[in-house]
């Protein structure tokens, strides 16, 4: 009996792999429809199973309007999602400020992008650094059209308390950005009055649904600093949930 069940499972897995390998699954909307119906919070992951070109209404960089004259700030712009965002915004003519914690990485990444890209240093986990960065930014720029709050660390990082006394993942992903957001509120408002079009993007995660797996989605900040009650997964989920609530 066990052998039969195992054979059926292996067979089903083989069929699924075949559908993926031959591209048949890509040509259908089966996964997208299933996810949309049962787990709508995971819809952002559908492109993993669906060819970009097959996605109806899929976002494309080419569909962005000209961004000439606009100022954009992307935290954690030297790699991953942040880097691609800087590249896309710059390709449309925006003046992009790539904010990173390492000057070497920032300079190297910026040098690979065509367009008006400059670099600024900030450690998002340090409220002191964020304060200094914000002050300098406000001195240099008189408008902020696009603010992408992207820098982040993940679930595999150790439970660490920053010198300022905050759990590291939460400080980096949420608190630093929240402080920066507050510092730029007036600038964003002024820009919005000028252009009627300001975009603030918080790069959250489906992991916010795993913030506290035992009890569901709740912000629980009192246990964050307690190593025995917290973990990388919980702290990451909490930081992403806090972004969502902002």
Ligand X SMILES: NC(=O)c1ccc[n+]([C@@H]2O[C@H](COP(=O)([O-])OP(=O)(O)OC[C@H]3O[C@@H](n4cnc5c(N)ncnc54)[C@H](OP(=O)(O)O)[C@@H]3O)[C@@H](O)[C@H]2O)c1
The binding site for ligand X (CB under 6 A) comprises 76, 78-82, 100-102, 105, 122-125, 150-153, 172-173, 203, 205
Yes or no: say if 169 and 157 are a contact pair by the CB < 8 Å rule.
Answer: yes
First to last CA, the chain: 53
- Tell me the DSSP string of 176-240: HHHHHHHHHHHHHHHHHHHHS--EEEE---GGGGGSBTTTBS----TTTT-TTT--HHHHHHHHH
Compare residues 171 and 191 and give the one whose CB is closer to ligand X. 171
Which among 83, 126, 208, 236 is annotated as catalytic? 236
CB of 238 to ligand X, least distance (A): 12
Compare residues 18 and 80 and give the one whose CB is closer to ligand X. 80
Cβ atoms within 10 Å, residue 115: 17
What tokens were used for 157?
A: 């990082």
CB of 220 to ligand X, least distance (A): 19
Which among 204, 205, 230, 239 is annotated as catalytic? 204
CB of 11 to ligand X, least distance (A): 31
Tell me if residue 141 is catalytic: no
Compare residues 137 and 191 and give the one whose CB is closer to ligand X. 137
- Containing 111, the helix (H) or strand (E) segment is helix 103-111
Residue sitting closest to ligand X (CB): 80
d(CA 237, CA 240): 5
Compare residues 85 and 191 and give the one whose CB is closer to ligand X. 85
Compare residues 91 and 162 and give the one whose CB is closer to ligand X. 162
CB of 28 to ligand X, least distance (A): 24
What values do phi and psi take at 4, rounded to 5? -65, -45
Tell me if residue 245 is catalytic: no
CB of 201 to ligand X, least distance (A): 11
Which residues is 74 bridged to in the sheet? 98, 148
CA-CA distances (angstroms) from residue 80 to 23, 45, 46, 75, 212? 26, 16, 18, 11, 27
Tell me if residue 128 is catalytic: no
Active site positions, annotated: 204, 236, 240
């Amino acid at each position: 009996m066990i052998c039969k069940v195992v054979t059926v499972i292996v067979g089903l897995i083989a069929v699924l792999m075949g559908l993926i390998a031959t591209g048949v699954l890509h040509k259908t909307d089966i996964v997208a429809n299933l996810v949309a119906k049962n787990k709508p919070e995971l819809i952002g992951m559908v492109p993993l199973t669906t060819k970009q070109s097959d996605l109806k209404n899929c976002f494309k960089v080419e569909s962005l309007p000209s961004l000439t004259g606009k100022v954009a700030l992307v935290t954690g712009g030297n790699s991953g999602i942040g880097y691609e965002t800087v590249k896309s915004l710059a390709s449309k003519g925006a003046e992009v400020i790539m904010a990173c914690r390492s000057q070497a990485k920032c300079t190297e990444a910026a040098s690979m992008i065509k367009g008006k890209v400059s670099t600024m240093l900030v450690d998002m986990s340090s409220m002191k650094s964020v304060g200094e960065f914000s002050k300098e930014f406000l001195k240099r720029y008189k408008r902020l059209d696009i603010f992408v709050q992207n820098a982040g660390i993940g679930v595999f990082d150790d439970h660490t308390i920053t010198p300022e006394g905050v759990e590291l993942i939460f400080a980096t992903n949420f608190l630093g950005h929240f402080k920066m957001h507050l510092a730029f509120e007036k600038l964003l408002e002024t820009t919005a009055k000028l252009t009627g079009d300001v975009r603030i993007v918080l790069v959250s995660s489906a992991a916010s649904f795993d913030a506290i797996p035992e009890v569901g989605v709740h912000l629980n900040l009192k246990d964050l600093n307690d190593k025995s009650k917290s973990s990388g997964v919980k702290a990451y989920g909490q930081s992403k949930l806090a972004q969502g609530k902002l």
